[in-house]
């Protein structure tokens, strides 16, 4: 097939891959620290998207400032959720999972009542597209790529250099040892959960101009996040990037070469195989 | 002991449901069955709201006059969430508990086909919104279709398009992989070949797709001159347009179904949506009458925002009301069904007041398909503008 | 063995259920009860799977397998639907074995994600394998179950009228409950309970853990398959969209709400949740939100599910003796984490 088409497929893979990485960061973080699978991750992502819809599209606040505001709001929400709900069930894997499920249902139901059922779009902050040797990139996607990379870098530095970040990493690796070292589990769980939710909301806000927003965008988002998390590995930021790129490639090339919609079936089968063969994912830490 | 408690609780529960009170006199119940919540609620709510507004209008005049009696219209709504099992439960409730004789509803083919085995033996008139051909055939003598399908729309649309752009012949169909999407694909196929177009590709995408770059890349490999999004939803269409334009497509885009132009334009962005054709309800000033303006205002006031789908859903409750009046009975549905097939009204919403009626005997087996004016709308400078009013034609 | 009171209560309940269609003719009520029974089957299957100490989020895939198997056997092979029924269950059970052997080595959350992905994979395959399933078009006008005849006498004829279906699903429900009870009480059940407490303990006794786990798992899948076969000939239509991830998730919810410790837990959970759902129709817009709130409340405040309510309402009661309330020790707190 034509080299230009192939190049476009590769470009699509990278763009999609980073988008999925973005979505998956929050859920990976929360799972690493608290061993909670947060099913409500998708709905929090959706709330972040709505936050941008109101701040940026309806109230015409500058896009970057809207992002910061949205991130702050969602972080507060995440903190509240951990404090009032998840803390009561700390350590119980299954009830936490079910609680997050109930939360997902609740948030989606509330969003439907408050925001209505229509799909709504947001004007792109940077319209247009770029053409590089026949390969096209939407400007909004380039923006996503840049912002994702900055975010990834910021997160990486935070985890490595800052005390709070290192505390979170310690908790993820070994909660008992971390406590012995003086890490306050309560505060760190609360903080970590809040950051995880913030990342979810932020990814929602970043992606609204590329996609659209409605109360129902949460479900598909959290499923993609799972796939990335499982493939790439838990507790690893580079792993999440890898997982995202793999999923992006499967979708991009799958759509290109396979009839109908087999691409997603393959993605799921890969997840199944990955868990069977290497549960911690390609780059996960055990 | 605990088991006994539960047993008696269960007993109470079941008897409780069974003991709900029956309805009073001189009330005409109209059932509404469709997705009121969930992603398909755009269509369900439009339908529900139109029925509600009609009921209020009628009741404000004392009720529906049938022979010498006036009947207050009462709507009973059941939410199907676009799921067949829920549609069945809702239909059971409407038919057997609420004892309605008229149901306006079922938006999906799977909903309609699951519900027809319940409504048909009970002789309940079902006005469906699904696109399936057999759903209104001779084997379901009490079922009617409330809105035109892509079948009714595509023939005149492709003819018009061909006249305007005679040199653009290469067509790609973009299909959303769900029942309604597949039906429209088949209807499009019939119409495009008859309309003089050459289908160079049919690409299908999964309903939960959020990113359309991969599939658009594949579509563009066919080098199309015309792209038909068939039954893609508003958000999907917006993203398809955005992907197409961003990847360098410069040809024609269209779709043979109705969606929400607001969503399409805001999701795609004004520049990307420019020039896109789709089926509209005729609510812009070019074709709308004053009454349409009033209807839009009232609808927006009651429900918060205008839903373009409502401009088509407007007619069916009124047609049913007319048929009931003409037949002179509120429960002899055999008679009402016959009368409904021959019922017609003048549309107050479109300039020139074209006729809205039922037809389709040759293609469907009965005159059970509603025919109404179809507006061909194009996005011009970020606004939907009606460029033609088409007559629904059958490929008889 | 069961106490005498228990037997009387169960017999009364049974009599009530058997005689119900005689005085309750409203098809809507019958439909709701049928739906409750039908949904209970995969939930009960999940209960058996829970005996292995794992929670599956892919149960709906086995319902789908049973459903499509029965459809194909009846429509394309021309088989009698009563023969297709056990074969559909068997098919689902065999798939359970195929999935179970590799998958049951995996623990906890990973197993949950594994089964979730497997369920979704099946869903995608159903949607795309149009030759087998009709894809997004769906399959319609599936025949109803064959008449039950004795010589030239037609005993049971299935029509749109619900009564025959009611007895059919009731029979399936009772059958599965009996299987659950026997399994739990049997050697297999004891071994599984031992495994649940501690894998190492069971290993030290020399038990082939995997075989027992796979057995329980596949029976759980078999129940789901039976439910699927019933579904096909009840709704007379099949569409891949009817078997979604949310269904799998709801089966888990029903067990938790009803009480994972009791054999009647799943049925009770389904009865309460679906019943509440129907009652909440009146609330319309707030249905989903109310449902979610109930769920959250139950999870936060009633960790043993609703069958544990008496422990909360009557805290002075003596702790449950072995056999009373059929506490199977499936409680989440006792389950080992990964």
Per-residue model confidence as pLDDT tens digits over C9-65: 888 888 888 888 888 778 888 888 999 999 999 999 999 988 877 889 999 999 999
On whether any CB of chain C is under 8 Å from the CB of B290, the answer is: no
Quote the CA–CA distance of B12 and A27 in Å, as a whole number: 45
On whether any CB of chain B is under 8 Å from the CB of C321, the answer is: no
Could you say which of C287, C288, C299 has the minimum Cβ distance to residue A98?
A: C299
pLDDT at C67: 95
* DSSP state letters, C83-143: HHHHHHHHHHHHHHHHHHHHHTTS-HHHHHHHHHHHHHHHHHHHHH-HHHH-GGG-B--PP
Nearest Cα neighbor of B31 from B109, B108, B128, B114 is B128
Residues 6+ apart with CB under 8 A from B199: B171, B172, B173, B189, B192, B193
Quote the CA–CA distance of B21 and B191 in Å, as a whole number: 52
Q: How many helices (H) and strands (E) does chain C have?
A: 14, 2
Residues of A with CB below 8 A from B234's CB? Answer: 118-119
pLDDT at C337: 32
Query: In the numeric block, which tokens belong to residue A45?
Result: 């992502």
Rounded to the nearest 5 degrees, what angle is found at the Cα of C272, between the Cα atoms of A93 and B85? 95
A31-35, A97-101, C64-68: which is most confident? C64-68
On whether any CB of chain C is under 8 Å from the CB of B185, the answer is: no
Q: In a 10 Å sphere around its CB, with 0-12 CB exposed, 13-18 middle and 19+ buried, how is residue C23 labelled?
A: exposed
- Predicted confidence band of residue B24 (pLDDT cuts 50, 70, 90): very low
Could you say which of B211, B221, B235 has the minimum Cβ distance to residue A214?
A: B235
Residues of C with CB below 8 A from A95's CB? Answer: 299, 303, 332
- Phi, then psi, of B73 in degrees rounded to 5: -85, 130
3-state helix, strand, coil in chain A (%, to 5): 75, 5, 20
Q: Which residue of B has its CA nearest to A124?
A: B269
Average pLDDT score over residue span C260-285: 80
Mean pLDDT across chain A: 84
Quote the CA–CA distance of A224 and C246 in Å, as a whole number: 16
- Predicted confidence band of residue C329 (pLDDT cuts 50, 70, 90): very low
Looking at domain B26-146+315-348, its CATH architecture is 3-Layer(aba) Sandwich (3.40)
The answer to whether residue B68 scores a pLDDT higher than 60 is: yes
Residues of B with CB below 8 A from C288's CB? Answer: 37
Of the candidate ranges A214-218, B160-164, B180-184, B206-210, the one whose mean pLDDT is the lowest: B206-210
Residues of B with CB below 8 A from C37's CB? Answer: none
pLDDT at C305: 57
User: What sign results for the dihedral spanned by CA atoms B383, B388, B394, B396?
Assistant: negative
Tokens 């009046």, residue? B325
pLDDT at B274: 92
On whether any CB of chain C is under 8 Å from the CB of A37, the answer is: yes
Residue, of C50 and A234, whose pLDDT is higher: C50
- Phi, then psi, of B126 in degrees rounded to 5: -115, 120
Q: Which residue of C has its CA nearest to A220?
A: C245
Query: In the numeric block, which tokens belong to residue C122?
Result: 């099946």
DSSP category for residue B251: S
Could you say which of B41, B238, B271 has the minimum Cβ distance to residue A117?
A: B41
Half-sphere exposure of A139 (CA within 13 A, CB side): 9
pLDDT at C198: 65
The ranges assigned to domains in chain B are 26-146+315-348, 151-285+377-390
- Predicted confidence band of residue A78 (pLDDT cuts 50, 70, 90): very high
DSSP category for residue B143: E
Q: Which residue of A has its CA nearest to C130?
A: A260
User: What sign results for the dihedral spanned by CA atoms B94, B100, B103, B104?
Assistant: negative
The ranges assigned to domains in chain A are 3-219
Residues shown for chain C: 338
In angstroms, the first-to-last Cα distance of chain C is 35
Residues 6+ apart with CB under 8 A from C19: none
- CB A230 to CB C300 under 8 A? no
Determine contact, residues B306/B299, Cβ cutoff 8 Å: yes
Could you say which of C102, C289, C337 has the minimum Cβ distance to residue A113?
A: C289
Residues of B with CB below 8 A from A216's CB? Answer: 38-39
- Predicted confidence band of residue B142 (pLDDT cuts 50, 70, 90): very high
Quote the CA–CA distance of C106 and C112 in Å, as a whole number: 9
Residues 274-313 of C with CB under 8 A from A: 285-289, 291-293, 295-296, 299-300, 303
Determine contact, residues C254/C273, Cβ cutoff 8 Å: yes
Q: Checking DSSP bridges between strand B277-280 and strand B374-380, what pairing results, if any?
A: antiparallel
Half-sphere exposure of C149 (CA within 13 A, CB side): 8
Mean pLDDT across chain B: 86
Per-residue pLDDT of B258-272, as tens digits, reads 767 888 888 888 889
The answer to whether residue C72 scores a pLDDT higher than 60 is: yes
Residues of C with CB below 8 A from B95's CB? Answer: 27
pLDDT at B262: 82
- CB C135 to CB B177 under 8 A? yes
The answer to whether residue B194 scores a pLDDT higher than 80 is: no
- Phi, then psi, of B79 in degrees rounded to 5: -90, 125
A106 by DSSP, 3-state: which? helix
- Predicted confidence band of residue C3 (pLDDT cuts 50, 70, 90): confident
Mean pLDDT across chain C: 80
Per-residue pLDDT of B293-346, as tens digits, reads 899 999 999 988 888 888 889 999 999 999 999 999 998 999 999 999 999 999
Shortest Cα distance, chain B CAs vs residue C241, angstroms: 8
- Residue C22: in which H helix or E strand, if any? helix C4-23
Q: Which residue of C has its CA nearest to B119?
A: C160
- CB B260 to CB A118 under 8 A? yes
- Predicted confidence band of residue B11 (pLDDT cuts 50, 70, 90): low
The answer to whether residue B56 scores a pLDDT higher than 90 is: yes
On whether any CB of chain C is under 8 Å from the CB of A3, the answer is: no
Quote the CA–CA distance of A181 and C77 in Å, as a whole number: 68
Shortest Cα distance, chain C CAs vs residue A79, angstroms: 18
B151-285+377-390 has the same fold as B26-146+315-348:
yes
pLDDT at B290: 87
Average pLDDT score over residue span B349-356: 86
Nearest Cα neighbor of B190 from B222, B149, B141 is B149
Neighbouring-strand partners of residue B277? B254, B378
- CB A118 to CB B206 under 8 A? no
Residues 73-102 of C with CB under 8 A from A: 102
Could you say which of C117, C296, C303 has the minimum Cβ distance to residue A102?
A: C296
Looking at domain B151-285+377-390, its CATH architecture is 3-Layer(aba) Sandwich (3.40)
pLDDT at C218: 94
Residue, of C132 and B365, whose pLDDT is higher: B365
Query: In the numeric block, which tokens belong to residue A6?
Result: 């192939």
Per-residue pLDDT of A11-63, as tens digits, reads 888 888 888 898 898 888 888 777 778 889 999 999 999 999 999 888 888 88
Quote the CA–CA distance of B368 and B365 in Å, as a whole number: 8
Shortest Cα distance, chain B CAs vs residue C27, angstroms: 6
Residues of B with CB below 8 A from C29's CB? Answer: 14, 17-18
pLDDT at B16: 55
Shortest Cα distance, chain C CAs vs residue A28, angstroms: 13
Residues of B with CB below 8 A from C284's CB? Answer: 36, 77, 79
Determine contact, residues A44/A74, Cβ cutoff 8 Å: yes
Residues 6+ apart with CB under 8 A from B290: none
- CB A117 to CB B221 under 8 A? no
């Amino acid at each position: 097939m034509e080299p230009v088409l192939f190049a476009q497929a590769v470009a699509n893979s990278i763009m999609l891959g980073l988008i999925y990485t973005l979505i998956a960061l929050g859920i990976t973080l929360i799972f690493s620290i608290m061993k909670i699978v947060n099913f409500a991750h998708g709905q929090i992502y959706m709330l972040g998207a709505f936050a941008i819809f109101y701040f940026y599209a309806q109230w015409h606040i500058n896009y970057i400032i809207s992002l910061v505001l949205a991130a702050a709001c969602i972080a507060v929400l995440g903190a509240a959720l951990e404090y009032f709900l998840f803390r009561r069930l700390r350590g119980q894997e299954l009830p936490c999972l079910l609680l997050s499920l109930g939360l997902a249902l609740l948030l989606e139901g509330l969003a439907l009542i408050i925001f209505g059922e229509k799909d709504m779009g947001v004007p792109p902050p940077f319209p247009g597209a770029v053409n590089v040797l026949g390969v096209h990139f939407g400007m909004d996607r380039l923006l996503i790529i840049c912002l994702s990379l900055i975010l990834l870098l910021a997160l990486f530095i935070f985890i490595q250099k800052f005390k709070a970040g290192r505390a979170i990493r310690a908790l993820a690796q070994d909660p008992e040892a971390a406590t012995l070292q003086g890490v306050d589990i309560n505060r760190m769980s609360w903080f970590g959960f809040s950051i995880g939710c913030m990342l979810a909301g932020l990814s929602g806000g970043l992606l609204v101009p590329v996609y659209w927003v409605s109360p129902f965008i949460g479900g598909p988002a959290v499923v993609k996040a799972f796939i990335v998390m499982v493939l790439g590995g838990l507790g690893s930021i580079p792993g999440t990037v890898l997982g995202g790129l793999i999923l992006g490639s499967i979708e991009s090339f799958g759509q290109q070469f396979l009839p109908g919609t087999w691409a997603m079936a393959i993605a799921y089968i890969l997840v199944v195989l990955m868990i069977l063969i290497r549960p911690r994912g390609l780059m996960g830490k055990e | 002991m605990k088991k006994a408690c539960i047993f008696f609780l269960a007993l109470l529960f079941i008897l409780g449901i069974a003991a709900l009170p029956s309805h009073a006199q001189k009330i005409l119940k109209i059932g509404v069955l469709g997705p009121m919540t969930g992603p398909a609620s755009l269509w369900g709510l439009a339908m529900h709201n139109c029925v509600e507004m009609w009921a209020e209008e009628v009741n404000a005049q004392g009720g529906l006059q049938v022979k010498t009696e006036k009947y207050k219209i009462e709507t009973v709504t059941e939410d199907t969430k676009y799921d067949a099992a829920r549609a069945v439960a809702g239909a059971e409730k409407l038919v057997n508990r609420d004892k309605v004789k008229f149901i306006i509803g079922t938006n999906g083919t799977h909903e309609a086909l699951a519900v027809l085995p319940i409504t048909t033996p009970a002789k309940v008139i079902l006005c469906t919104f699904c696109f399936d051909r057999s759903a209104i055939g001779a084997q379901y003598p009490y079922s009617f279709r409330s809105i035109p399908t892509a079948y009714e729309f595509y023939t005149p649309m492709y003819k018009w398009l061909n006249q305007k752009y005679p040199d653009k012949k290469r067509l790609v169909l973009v299909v959303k992989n769900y029942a309604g999407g597949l039906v429209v694909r088949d209807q499009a196929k019939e119409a495009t070949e008859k309309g003089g177009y050459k289908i160079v590709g049919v690409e299908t995408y999964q309903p939960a797709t959020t990113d359309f770059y991969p599939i658009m890349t594949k579509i563009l490999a066919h080098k199309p001159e015309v792209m038909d999004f068939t039954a893609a939803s508003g958000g999907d269409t917006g993203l398809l347009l955005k992907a197409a334009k961003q990847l360098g497509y410069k040809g024609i885009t269209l779709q043979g179904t109705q969606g929400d132009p607001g969503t399409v334009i805001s999701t795609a962005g004004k520049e990307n949506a420019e020039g896109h054709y789709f089926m509209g309800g005729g609510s812009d000033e070019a074709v709308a009458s004053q009454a349409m303006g009033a209807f839009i205002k009232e609808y927006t006031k009651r429900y918060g925002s205008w839903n373009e789908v409502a401009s088509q859903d407007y007619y069916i409750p009124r047609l049913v009301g007319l048929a009931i009046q003409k037949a002179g009975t509120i429960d002899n549905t055999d008679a009402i069904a016959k009368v409904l097939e021959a019922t017609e009204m003048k549309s107050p919403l479109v300039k020139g007041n074209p006729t809205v009626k039922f037809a389709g005997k040759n293609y469907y087996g009965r005159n059970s398909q509603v025919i109404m004016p179809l507006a061909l709308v194009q996005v011009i400078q970020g606004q939907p503008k009606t460029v033609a009013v088409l007559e629904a034609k059958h490929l008889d | 063995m069961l106490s005498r009171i228990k037997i009387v209560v169960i017999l009364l309940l049974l009599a009530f259920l058997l005689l119900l269609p005689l005085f309750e003719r409203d098809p809507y009520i019958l439909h709701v009860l049928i739906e409750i029974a039908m949904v209970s089957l995969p939930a009960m299957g999940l209960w058996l799977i829970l005996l292995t100490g794992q929670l599956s989020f892919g149960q709906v895939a086995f319902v789908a397998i049973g459903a499509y198997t029965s459809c194909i056997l009846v429509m394309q092979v021309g088989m009698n639907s009563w023969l297709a029924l056990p074969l559909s269950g068997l098919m689902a059970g065999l798939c359970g074995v195929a999935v179970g052997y590799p998958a049951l080595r995996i623990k906890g959350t990973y197993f949950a994600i594994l089964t979730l992905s497997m369920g979704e994979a099946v869903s995608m395959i159903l949607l795309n394998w149009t030759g087998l399933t009709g894809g997004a078009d769906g399959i319609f006008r599936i025949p109803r179950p064959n008449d039950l005849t004795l010589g030239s006498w037609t005993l049971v004829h299935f029509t749109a009228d619900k009564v025959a279906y009611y007895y059919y699903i009731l029979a399936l429900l009772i059958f599965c409950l009996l299987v659950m009870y026997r399994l739990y009480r049997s050697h297999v059940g004891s071994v599984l309970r031992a495994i649940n407490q501690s894998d190492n303990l069971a290993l030290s006794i020399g038990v082939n853990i995997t075989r027992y786990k796979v057995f329980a798992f596949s029976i759980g899948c078999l129940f789901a398959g039976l439910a699927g076969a019933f579904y096909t000939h009840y709704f007379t239509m099949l569409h891949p969209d009817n078997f979604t991830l949310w269904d799998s998730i709801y089966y888990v919810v029903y067990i938790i709400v009803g009480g994972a410790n009791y054999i009647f837990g799943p049925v009770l959970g389904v009865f309460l949740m679906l019943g509440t759902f129907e009652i909440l129709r009146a609330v319309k817009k707030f249905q989903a939100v109310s449902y979610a709130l109930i769920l959250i409340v139950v999870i936060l405040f009633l960790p043993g599910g609703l069958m544990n309510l008496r422990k909360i309402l009557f805290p002075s009661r003596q702790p449950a003796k072995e056999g009373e309330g059929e506490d199977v020790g499936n409680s989440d707190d006792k389950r080992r984490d990964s």
